[in-house]
Amino acid sequence: MTTSTSAASPSGADERPYSPGLEGVLAGETALSKVDGANGRLVYRGYRIGDLVERGTYAAVANLLWTGDWDPAARLATGPVPDVVLTTLRALPTTAKPMDALRTAVSAWGATQTLDWPPTAEQARALTAFSPSALAAFARIREGKDPIEPDPSLSLVEGFLYQLKGEKPDAATARALDAYFIVGAEHGFNASTFTARVITSTKSDIVSAVAGAIGTMKGPLHGGAPSEVVDQLAKMGTVEHAEEWLRGALDRGERLMGFGHRVYRAYDPRAAALRKVAEGMEHKPEWLELAIQVEDVALRLLAERHPDRPLKTNVEFYAAPVLMGVGLSPDLFPATFSLARDAGWTAHVLEQAASNRLIRPDVKYVGEEERDLPA
């Protein structure tokens, strides 16, 4: 039986406040990450995101989220794709969106697994290892190429790029993408993570939770922004034309993609971590060079136009050139973001299951009063 906490007036009306989008509403507790938007800070289990990027790997961060233990030697490689999943991917049209293909592959993979309740860290690890192989397989299939078997000697990020391109990445490329995976791994009760927790609260399995999270991430208000940053940088072309283009966009009232955030009112710490990695690359891809130079111009213009509004760089601004720089096409960006977020999604599944209560909020009725059917 569900206990009601309704607060009704004598007339029967529900007087409780309503917050559109649940903004500001505490919907749970977590020990996984703290997002401090006012001060531009992000920590995973107490560890600063900048330190994790500088000294850690995606494997170590994923293990930290799943277990609470920091093990810098943790290993995580890509996993095999069962034949039934490859058959499913080959049956999709080559025009299918990568997010749809990833969601479909995860669901098909789940049908091959024994997923008892409660979910386990082993299940989380297997799903996180499988997903990059599945996305890489689809990307090759749609180009008329055969999928590549995983190489267990490579890290998950190296393996993903190898299975995508057919050649092993250089250390700088792998490092840049690994940094992106780290900053994308976890970010509190965002829309897709909350979806995963709602599904888990029904005692459904970990694959259903992640499939639902992927469906949520597909929405352009959540996971689609980095590709729009690419379009923006392409229109500027060079840093010499950047200020003119940016001023024109602001004069037209257009939003500058990669700046401003629903939570952060200071510089996004994930963007700071990615910029530091980018600046440390010996041979920066041209997309990174352009982004680094354009950012300073954009921040100066935004401060001039909106001195009372904190519009700072967000993670998408550097995610876009990093993903382009490692050789990914823009339509793969949201799905690659999902691969990074697998660690966080599955960690939230484990946390929800550990002290589970069905997530079932109330809703305020604003329809017609009770009435009789017309004669």
| Neighbour count for residue 354 (Cβ, 10 Å) | 9
Q: Which of 221, 232, 218 is nearest to 317 (CA)?
A: 232
**Of these residues, 261, 295, 348, 351, which one is catalytic?**
261
Q: Which of 163, 195, 81, 167 is nearest to 127 (CA)?
A: 81
368 is catalytic: no
Q: Is 261 helix (H, G, I), strand (E, B) or coil?
A: coil
d(CA 190, CA 133): 25
Cis bond upstream, residue 118 (ω within 30): yes
Segment 205-209 long-range contacts (CB within 8 Å, at least 24 positions apart): 205/110, 205/115, 205/117, 205/119, 206/115, 206/119, 206/123, 206/124, 206/127, 206/346, 206/349, 207/106, 207/107, 207/109, 207/110, 207/113, 207/115, 207/127, 208/110, 209/119, 209/345, 209/349
Residue with token string 């100066």: 300
Do residues 319 and 180 make contact, with C-beta atoms less than 8 angstroms apart? yes
What's the Cα-to-Cα distance from 74 to each of 19, 31, 60, 62, 153, rounded to whole Å?
Answer: 42, 21, 5, 9, 13
Q: Is 109 helix (H, G, I), strand (E, B) or coil?
A: helix
Phi and psi dihedrals of 361, rounded to 5?
Answer: -70, 160
Residues 145, 134, 49, 293: what is their CA dihedral angle, to the nearest 10 degrees? 30
Do residues 135 and 339 make contact, with C-beta atoms less than 8 angstroms apart? yes
d(CA 322, CA 317): 9
Q: Which of 319, 301, 321 is nearest to 311 (CA)?
A: 301
261 is catalytic: yes
Residue with token string 């876009």: 320
**Of these residues, 158, 295, 316, 351, which one is catalytic?**
316
Residues 228, 232, 235, 238: what is their CA dihedral angle, to the nearest 10 degrees? -130
Task: Give the active site residues.
Answer: 261, 316
